[in-house]
Every structure is written in structure tokens, then in C-alpha cells.
Chains A and B, each alone.
Chain A
Amino acid sequence: MELFSNLIDGFSALGGTATIAWWQPILVILIGIIVGIFVGVMPGLSASTGLALIVPFTFGMDPLIAIILLAAVYTSASYGGTISAIAINTPGTPAAVAVAFDGYALTKKGEPGKALGSSLFANVIGGLTGSLVLIFFSVPLAKIALKFGPAAFFSLAIFGLTIVSSMESKNRIKAFVSTAIGLLLMTVGLDIINGTPRFTFDRAELFDGFTFIPALIGLFAIGEILLNIENMQMAKTFKQKFSSKMPKFKEIWSLKGLIGKSSVIGAIVGAIPGAGATIAAFIAYGEAKRTSKKKDDFGKGSLEGITAPSSAAGASAGGALIPLLTLGIPGSAATAVMIGALALHNITPGPELFKPENSTLVYALFASLFVGNALMLFIGYSGTRLWVKIISAPKAVLFSIIMSIALVGSYAVKNSMFDVFVCLGFGVFGWLLRRNGFPTAPMVLAMILGKMAETNFRQALLAEGTWTVFFTDPISLILLIMAVLSIAYPLISEKIKQKNKTKK
């Protein structure tokens, strides 16, 4: 019951304290959400950039105000990323890649309002679920997170890679080729274990490998535009009609089970440091497709395919705060920035936060997550019309603007011109692949998981000195079994279907 009285204290702190005026928390959350959505939407800017840039402004603030501002930026960036994924097929954050499949497909059908709306609802529900999990289950989940050693992380990465198999049922072999290219490209750079430069051709820019965000922007944004203008009759500046109509309540309500399940997946996977939102979104997408009754709609604008990854991404924001707040370990780049920012305010993330003298602060943060998600629903809802209006602009104008912003975004990640060329290179490459039916999403997934798989594989072998560690570590064993099932299940179920068909 102490928990509830603490939470009530937290909510009342948001209404103002002796040192904080009543309007300050709400205003700060509003600003945080707008900043967060903005950095999420812009390709090349991410939650961690947004946080790092806002930190200097929090110096003079009350610690409570500072912490809820940072949390608002952090949580809303994941929604921002899905907006650009749905509207222009340019995932603003890596997690939004999984939302782009069906979200952008629905936009192409002329219903971006429906896609954006369902993604917003799913994201908010996910955010609320993630906050609840954070409040009630952070201690046991933190214990599980600590149990993840190198072997378990390796198996998690392998399990994540096998999702490709269920994602792409038509062109499975092409999806595997795309995955393998992604894995191979991720080995470029200094080898973390030995420090050997690999495939760098003595370019210092390649020592850390290809920068991920420019590659992602290239594959999606530039690739999409090249694909579009190839099929476009340039003589006519054609316009497509887009509807900003939101999904009906009934449509969303019918997905309540799926959204709930995906939110829980998101919160749990998000709590594992280093795994994060992207894997959660892909797992939720794969799981939604596996259990769906309308498998064939996936990839063509299925609402299930939009809501599952959106809610997982929303929930993983709350999940990623678990190791941060309970153990003091950042689970992602963005939470790493939050640790530094909190240190400036004399707040050390970790168990001490929950001691009585600090508890108002941490429970006010929890309360702000609820208020923030409610406000995000409102802001996102009113923003939808704006996004639809933007994408209704003539293609020539829209494409030119997207291209220039994509290239600046690639530059901004590391302030490097080399990355701008990387973005263009991957753009042309992505266009070549996609016009020949090779999907690029598996390559992105492989680029996210490739380094994680290799580093942890070698760390596990260094530490234990034997191959058996992947099977003797219980978490690793479970994940490997899941990986095998996830490859085998779609193959077997298709075979059974074919047999049934031939019988008929």
C-alpha cells in the first residue's frame, strides 16, 4: 500500500510543490513531448541526441522539473519515429522499421490517418503498460535482466534474426540474402575483442563500421524516393489523395488482446539492457503475424501489423527505464545520456532513488509518464492532420525536401561528410535491391543484431572457454529453442496448408 501512497504523492507533486508552480510540470511535459516527437520524426536525430541537446537547458531547473522533462522527451521520441515511418517510409528511429511495413502500405492506399491514428493509440497504450510494469515489476525484472550474460545475449540476437523467416513468407530466400549482406557489412570496422581493423581499407571513418542511422536513412528514405521516381511520369506532377480519417474505435477495440500482448513483450524485452525497443518491435510484429487469422494482409496495411510493433516500441521505453532506475545501468544510448544528465542534478540512478528521502522524485517521474502518455494522445491526435497535409504536397516538392533533410540528418549523427556518402550509397543499393524484390528490412535487422551476436559470442567463448556454454546457460538454451521454432514453424505450417489444399 505504501506504493499507492507514494504514487499519490507523486501525482500531487506534479500539481506543484513549495518550490514549483502548478503550471510548470504540465508545461514542461508538453514541451518535452513536442521536442521528443520532433527529434523522433526527423531522420538522423534520435532520442539520445534530443536528450543531450536539452541537458544544458536543465542546469538551472528544479531536479524534479528536469527529470520529468527528460523523461517526456525520451518516451515521446519513439512515437515520433513511427510517424515518419508511416508517412514517408523513413523510420525516424530503428524501432519504427517494423511499423513501416504495414504503416506505409496503408498510407500508399490513401489512408495515412488510419495508420497514424492506430499507431498513436497503440503507442500510448504501450507507454501506459510500460509505465505500469516499471512501477510494479521493476525489481523482479531487473533481477532477470542481470541474469543475461554474453551467452544469453548471443542467443537473443540469433532469435531476433530468425524473425526474418516469419516476416517474409513470399521471398524467403531473398530475405535471407538481404540478412546475410547486412550481417557481413556489420563486420566492417575495428573488432571489439582484438582491436583488429577489418575491411576498413585504412579509412579512419570506417574504424567504427558503417554508421547505422545514415545506412538506415539511405536504405529507406533515399531508396524509397528512387523507387518512386522510377515509376513516376515526371511530366505530370501527380498528387495522391490522402485521407486524415482516424480509425474507428471499434477497429482498435477489436485489437485489444494483441495490443496488450505486444505491450507486455515490449516492456519485458525493453528491460534487458542492450536489447531494447527495436528487437521488441520486431518480436511483436513476428508474433502478431504468427498468431493472426489474416496472415495474408500483413505487409499490405494490416492494422494488426501496425499496432503490434507500435505498442511494443511504446512499452519498451518504460521497460528500458527499469535497469536505469533500479540498477543504474543504461539499457540504451538514450538512457545512458539520462544517467549523465541526472548526475548533474545530484540524482544518482539506482536503488537509492527509492529510499524515502528521494521517493517523491521517482514517483513524480512515474506519475509524469502517465500524464505524458495522456497528453501525447492529445498532441498526436491533433498533429495527425498536419502530417497528412505535409504528405499531400506535390511529390516533387515532398521528395526534394525529404532528400535534403535525410542528407543533413546523416551528417548530424557524427558531423561527418563521409556518412552523407554512406547514406547515398545505401540509398542506391536499397533501390537496386527493392526493385528486384529483395526486402531491405531484414538487412536493417541484421545490422542491428550482427554486432551484438558476434561480440557476445566471442565474449562467452573467452569467458567460459567452451562451446557448450550456449546450451548450459538456461536463458540461452530457451532462446535458442525459440529461434529454431521460429524458423521451423512457418515452414511446417505452410507445408501442412499445401497438403490440405492438395487433398481438397
Chain B
Amino acid sequence: MMKKIFLIIIIILTTFSFVFSANFPNKPITILVHTKPGGAVDLMARTLARVADNYCEQPLVVVNKPGGGGIIAASRLLNSKPDGYTILAFPATFIPTLQTTDIGIKLDDFKYLACLTISPEAIITNPNSDINSIEKIISYAKENPGKQKWCGPGTGSLDHLMGIKFWEKAGIKVKWIPYGGGSQAMGAVMGKHADVYIGNPEDILGRQDNLNISAISTENRLESFPKVPTLIEKGIDLPNEVMWRGFVLNKKTNDEATKYLEDLLYKCSQDSIWKNYITKTMVTPVFLRDNEFKKIVYKDVESSRKYLEIAGFTLDKNASKTPYLFTFIFSILLISFSIVYFIFKKKSIKLNGTISILTISSVLAISFFYISSFFPAPRAGLFVGSATIPKVWSIFLLLVSLIGLILYYKNSAKEITKKGENIKNVISLTFLILIYITLIPIIGFFISTGLFLISSMLIMKYKNYLNLLLTTAIVLLFMYIVFIKILMVPLPTMSIF
């Protein structure tokens, strides 16, 4: 038995050892991706990582950091060491995100490595509907101002901006209906719930029965879609609206690493597997180095600022702060509990779990209502805004909580209250978990998990110490194999070194 343990411990320890060598790169390079696994940017990064294996002695590992439209991934890049071991996949969708959120990330914080693909913006319609070409879009929109339904992912997104530019140049007024994602918006056009979708040419692949491209924003027609006219042909001066995808570094990265990565990306961009993949997804492979890349980024920034303002975005985000928030919540909490306490005292019922939860949920409802009343008002002509649904749900919660309290007051005798038997156990375990997850970023995932497993079993009075150690070792090994080796989940390692 002891031999087994010894063996397992050795296996775990060797996984921590590092191999040192002199030149960049001497450890795996991380590619941060701002979407969940499976998105277009993610698949591009994964393909790049695979192609790069032939040109780089260290593996490239894709790490997904979704959230906040890219803010989480971008701030992760800027907060990691500027040593070139972390790069960020940077598509054009970052531009509006960084401009509409006030989180302290500037475009000057990045070093622009290279742009690898571009794809024109496309105006997409339903071939079976009455509105299926640029002429018809414009004439219908002029006859029925403000009635035509345009859709795409999100508000203030890249595609929304393209729409605003189009509407301005064509002199039309339409409705913008934002959807959670591109495919939902396409579904809406396919089902004729909306008229026009703004996306990229590749979006119609496999959907030609229900989607057609009315026009694209390039100077010349695309080889892959020779019948599709350009916007210039239709008299709308938008020849150069592209959705680009590239990679960026932290600005402070040293030149040696930057040079290496730029060469690596260049080699990959010339690889036949890469080119094959890119053409399959119907985007255009390019290789734009730092300055050329920077130029299109800043050109987009310039125009997006102007059009975001037209769309009604205030670029300073200091709006909607709730005054006296904590004072408010605290006093509501105090008032509600004292009211409930005195009412139930009449029937000599003590504040138990059910009453407390119902009181707290009422306070929650009132607080959410209070905060939502400071949200920006709905735009002109709309009677439903950001605050409406939170307010409806708060009223619903307040209502059911109050009914719950009243019913409890009436039939309290029927309810058998359970006495907390071992609340101490729960509290100690909760604290243990809290200590464990606070320690993970400090002493690394595997050490803290090992300590947690041992102490948690000890807290639960598990007495078979041999089994205890064996279980810990087996679980750690299992997690190492599954999460690190197979799934390649980047678990936190020690940060004190």
C-alpha cells in the first residue's frame, strides 16, 4: 500500500517540474479568446494553434475567457506579464465594446501583431420576401419610414454600426432589433420576423433557400459570389467596411518575443492547411503587419465614434449610479425585520427560517426596484426600457413574498419547523471551501485542492487515514489527466513564484 502512495506522489510531483531553456519561447504560449469554445474566432484560434505546431517548438494553447463582450479577455491580457506568452485574438467586434464601456482599457494599450483575415460586411435579405434587393429595401423604407425591421447581434455592435452608416448614406429610417447572436437574427429573417440582416457573406452558406445577399461593402465583386453587387454599384458609398480578425499583445512586450511571434504568425498564414481552412470559411486570408493592422483599427475607431453618437450612445458611462444605495438597503432591511418581528410577536411566533427568507426576498425585491428606477429612460416612442422587466419581476417577488408571510401568519401551526441539527458542520465546511477557493490563486490549484480534500474529510471525521491519502492522490491525478492533459483547461498555478 505504501508503495502505491509513494508512486502516486511521485507522479504528481513530476507534473510540477519545469523544463528550462534559454530562448523565447521556453513554455507554452497562451492564445486568449473572448468567446466560448466553438465560435468563429475560437475555431480560428484553434486552427492557428494546430498549424503553429509545425513551426514552433512550444505548443500554443487556446484559453477561453468569455464575458463582457471581450473586456474580461482584454483585461486578462493587460494584467498578465508582458513576456509574449499571452496573446489575444482580436476581432473587429472589440472596437465598439472598448468604446462603450468605461473600464480603463485603451486601444493604445495593445501591440498589434498581425491581422490574418478580413471579410466584407453584407446586407442579407430573404429571397422569398418582398424585400430582397437593395432597390426594394430603399424604396420600401422610403414609403414606410420607421417600419422596416433590420436585425443583427446586439446594440452598438459592429453590424449595427454598418447599418447606421447604410441608413445615413441611403437616407432612410428603419427599426433596429438587436438579437443575442447572429444565428438567432438570421433565423428571424428566414422566418420573415425581420426584413434585413447585417452580417458577412459566409453567413448565407447552406441557407441559400432562405437567405440571399443583397449587396456587399467591397470595391469590387467577390470571386466567390460573382452575382452579388457591391454597395457602390447601387450608389451607396461604402466601399471598405470589413470585419477583420487579428492578434494583439500587451504593449510592453519586448521586441525579441514580438519579432518571434510575428514571424510565427507569418509562417502560419502561408501554410496550406491554414489557407485551406480560411477559404472554407469564405473569408479572405491576409497578412497585415503591425502598422497596416493599426491603420485599419484606428480608421474603424474614428468612424465608429461618430456613428455610435448618432445611434445615441453616450460614450461617457458615468450615468445611472444609484444614490444612497447601501443606506437604502440597510434601512429597508431594518424596517422590514422590525415590522415582521412585531406583527408575529402578537401570535408569539419567533423569527424562523421561513419568515426570514420571505422578509429578505421582500427586501431584495424593493432594492431591485429602487436600483432600476435609476436606469436610463426608454428611448422616445418606446414604453418599455431597461427598467421595465426588472420592475415587473420585483413587484411579482414582493407580492408572492407578502402572500407567503400572510399565509404563514394564518396557518403557522401547521408548519413543523425543523431544528437545525448540526449548523456548526455547515458553517465549518462553508468556511473551509471559502479558504480553499481564496488559496487557489495563491498557492496553485493542485496543492490547495489536495489540502482541501484532506481537511474536508478530516472535518467529516473520516478516520481511515490511508484511504484518505490514497483518495486525495487519485483525485488529483484524475483531475490532472482530465483537465490539464485531455481538456486542456488552464487551471490556476502558483502565482507566488
Contacts and interface: CB of A to CB of B under 8 A. Distances in A.
Contacts, number: 324
Contacts of A246: none
Contact of A181 (B38, B206, B364): B364
A32 to B, nearest CB: 15
A209 B193 CA distance: 27
Contacts of A233: 422
A462 interface: yes
Contacts of B397: 177, 180-181, 183-184
B186 A397 contact: no
Most B C-beta atoms less than 10 A away, residue of A49, A193, A205, A421: A193
B37 A173 contact: no
B314 to A, nearest CB: 11
Interface stretch (A76-84, A95-103, A127-135, A433-441): A433-441
Nearest to A205: B67
A195 B280 contact: no
Interface string A193-214: 1111111000011011000000
B253 interface: no
Contacts of B358: 177
Interface string A376-399: 000000000000000000111101
A231 B422 contact: yes
A204 B72 contact: yes
A104 interface: no
Nearest to B210: A327
A491 interface: no
Contacts of B71: 204, 207
Contacts of A353: 206
A237 B471 contact: no
Contact of B393 (A184, A207, A344, A437): A184
Given A273-B184, A463-B193, A415 B65 contact: yes
A183 B154 CA distance: 22
A148 interface: yes
Given A329-B183, A401-B475, A205 B72 contact: yes
Interface in A331-353: 333, 336-337, 340-341, 343-344, 346, 348-353
B190 interface: yes
Interface in B435-460: 436-437, 440-441, 445, 449, 452-453, 456-457, 459-460
A205 to B, nearest CB: 6
A11 B190 CA distance: 33
A273 B187 contact: yes
Contact of B407 (A148, A173, A229, A352): A173
Contacts of B380: none
B403 A173 contact: yes
Given A173-B403, A461-B382, A436 B357 contact: yes
Interface of A: 42, 45, 48-49, 51-53, 55-56, 59, 145-150, 173-174, 176-177, 180-181, 183-184, 187, 190-199, 204-205, 207-208, 222, 225-226, 229-235, 237, 273-274, 323, 327-330, 333, 336-337, 340-341, 343-344, 346, 348-353, 394-397, 399-401, 403-405, 407-408, 411-412, 414-417, 420-421, 424, 427-428, 431-433, 435-438, 450, 453-455, 457-459, 461-463
6 contacts: A173-B400, A174-B354, A180-B397, A230-B420, A346-B280, A463-B194
